[in-house]
A and B are shown apart, each in its own frame.
Chain A
């Protein structure tokens, strides 16, 4: 019997996994000895859709499986028992990677959080239990005292994966120390950093691991009810969580008197409603309560007064997903990975101009270069590595020159970026850093809840300056004004959003002053990105002379004869971009002025 698994998470499905699954389903006769099922994301988003054929302890993973390829795999491998080496991206025998085109991508990883992602059917609690699922819950409830659980967490040295890196064991011990009518265990699944998607992947690929982490936490701190606050943009994650909670209740892992211990705990899902600031924990609590998601002043800290004013412990999805592994294997075993001050592993989302975009879980302390080039395969289209953005709207850009920096809670902040949730957006020589600074500020400006004056108005003033600079209307003193405003906003904001909002701007000023100068003094965009500062050019190879661009040009700067390549008069052009968006052949592009002059 062969087991056929199709990767069905959001990334797989948007690459067409549904069609692949449907084709396989239609090919498989009703009385087939082979079994077709779904699985989560194994992290190789760049080769989706993925199909795995599992036979005993041999796992063969095929990449880029469209329906036609699925048919071929069905005939040759599933029915005929013949592998198709050209399509194999990864092969595992007895849990050891043995070959395939993408061997390096997975072989360099250490998977604790992602231990089940891409391996089990996330909608089946049986699959999860077969992989040792809920053993940690049993152990924590039947064999351990709550204080022992907390001690084990402290030993592991696990630090919160939501961004700030606060020691989890310590946080739990605080929450254990307060009493209230109720005590809440909250899971932050708001994943607001645009460019990070590991929480989604864990929720879609291994939802029970998160539930287990929350149950164990509740046992340790005396929690009475759990909330998972999940962003509405993740409908599949919410669906799979609902199924998992239902199944866990049926098996008696959730609900009253869990496993006859007298300990009762249940979990409900709260769907976010689209506000980045709700990822901040006090704003998140306000949102659970049905209020506008505005941050509150601390103290009192959540351990004392969180949701509905009751003692509360809040952790990130990835933090909870680590817990069952730690309880099963011991805190010391966890410490064996990573560095002294940042133990364990971390999942990174590789995106942007990287050759192999996806998820990679590695021990803390690996260098940026090892992650981006060793695992991620370097830069897309062989271009030049310019920078990597970490920490999203709260973080910063780390320039290529610092690629030897170890990625952990100690070293990343030294560069001006932060660990954040682990999103790594890679930039090449065509990315304008001034524009990136503007981009992040647009985001935080929009998402500021409006409570603090500096965050609300200060970010707007910074944004106005940056917009002027990218339009080529920068003035002497702009950079100084940005720096000063940034400092003030950091000082005078209540929550992390405002306190970190200037970071993307300040870190780009620190490393890319030359680009700021080019925009302000020379009115040019070296990366060839900012529309007002570049030339628009028609690629004669692609242009088929339809004249759509010329008709749409408001200043009649485009001319030519029908059915022959058109040309843009760069002197007359006002860089409005209408020609690019009206071209049906993607024949028009932007280029740095210097290049065009050559």
Chain B
């Protein structure tokens, strides 16, 4: 099994060439994005200049230098989805979320990405919200899904907040 644990991978690194991208992938898996300090660690261990690591990071669309929202929306803009009017869905999502592609909403609930084909072309137009694929979308259906997830996320945040408040509050009586 490929270990994704970042510190383990760093520790185990023995100079095998070609490890830079897997290391970056595990850093991103670990932190949710690639923070400055991860670049520094990787640079020290692999003896690769930070500038070069930065060059690799910015070449690949998978890598992100900013933290992401709690839910990641990946709208497919592949050929089959484009033919099925995914452009309208992109407008809808940008309007509903108030962010451009690659952006994160102010409340940190959503990050919006576009991808080219997730291999479910027969259900076009398609988007992935986290690990769930939703197919045969329309602008109205898309808004409904997004609003529902926002409600759920905010509700569970409030609940988590309440629980942690209750836990940290001194036992009064």
Contact = CB atoms under 8 A, between A and B. Distances in A.
B17 A308 contact: yes
Interface in B132-164: 132-135, 138-141, 143-144
Interface in A267-284: 269-276
Nearest to B138: A586
B60 A275 contact: yes
B77 to A, nearest CB: 8
B119 interface: yes
B140 A584 contact: yes
B83 A352 contact: yes
B115 interface: yes
B140 A585 contact: yes
B98 interface: no
Interface stretch (B65-73, B88-96, B103-111, B165-173): B88-96
Given A11-B122, A274-B61, A275-B60, A352 B116 contact: no
A371 to B, nearest CB: 15
B123 A580 contact: no
Given A242-B2, A292-B56, A586 B122 contact: no
Contact of A392 (B79, B134, B139): B79
Which of B126, B134, B135 has the most chain A CB atoms closer than 10 A to its own CB? Answer: B135
Which of A193, A292, A293 has the most chain B CB atoms closer than 10 A to its own CB? Answer: A292
B79 to A, nearest CB: 4
Contacts of B45: none
Contacts of B15: none
Given A290-B21, A351-B79, A274 B1 contact: no
Given A274-B60, A351-B79, A581-B139, A11 B123 contact: yes
Contacts of A192: 116
A353 B83 CA distance: 8
Nearest to A350: B122
Contacts of B62: 232, 272-274
A196 B92 CA distance: 26
B78 A195 contact: yes
A590 B20 CA distance: 48
A234 B119 contact: yes
Contacts of A200: 119
B150 to A, nearest CB: 16
A423 B79 contact: yes
Sorting the interface of chain B by its residue count into under 10, 10 to 19, 20 to 34 or 35 or more gives 35 or more
A195 B60 CA distance: 21
Contact of A292 (B19, B55, B138): B55
B118 interface: yes
A532 B108 CA distance: 34
A15 B79 contact: no
Given A580-B88, A581-B88, A195 B121 contact: yes
Contact of A14 (B84, B91, B123, B140): B123
B59 interface: yes
B92 A431 contact: no
Contacts of B133: 10, 13-14
Contacts of A293: 59-60
B140 A583 contact: yes
Nearest to B23: A290
B99 interface: no
A425 B117 contact: no
A349 interface: yes
B84 to A, nearest CB: 8
A207 interface: no
Which of B1, B80, B123 has the most chain A CB atoms closer than 10 A to its own CB? Answer: B80
A136 interface: no
A427 B80 CA distance: 9
Contacts of A547: none
Contacts of A581: 88, 91-92, 95-96, 139
Contacts of B25: 232, 271, 273
Given A14-B133, A14-B135, A242-B2, A273 B118 contact: no
B83 A15 contact: no
A37 to B, nearest CB: 22
B9 interface: no
B15 to A, nearest CB: 12
Contacts of A373: none
Contacts of B138: 586
B22 interface: yes
Interface of B: 1-2, 17-22, 24-25, 55-56, 59-63, 77-80, 82-84, 88, 91-92, 95-96, 115-124, 126, 132-135, 138-141, 143-144
Nearest first, the 10 A-B pairs at minimum CB distance are A194-B78, A357-B122, A14-B133, A290-B20, A273-B60, A351-B121, A195-B79, A194-B117, A45-B122, A274-B61
17 contacts: A10-B120, A14-B126, A45-B120, A233-B115, A271-B21, A274-B62, A292-B59, A352-B83, A357-B122, A389-B79, A426-B83, A449-B59, A580-B91, A581-B95, A582-B95, A584-B143, A584-B144
Given A193-B117, A194-B80, A584-B144, 14 more contacts: A14-B134, A15-B135, A194-B117, A195-B117, A273-B25, A287-B21, A290-B19, A290-B20, A352-B80, A423-B79, A581-B91, A582-B95, A584-B140, A586-B138
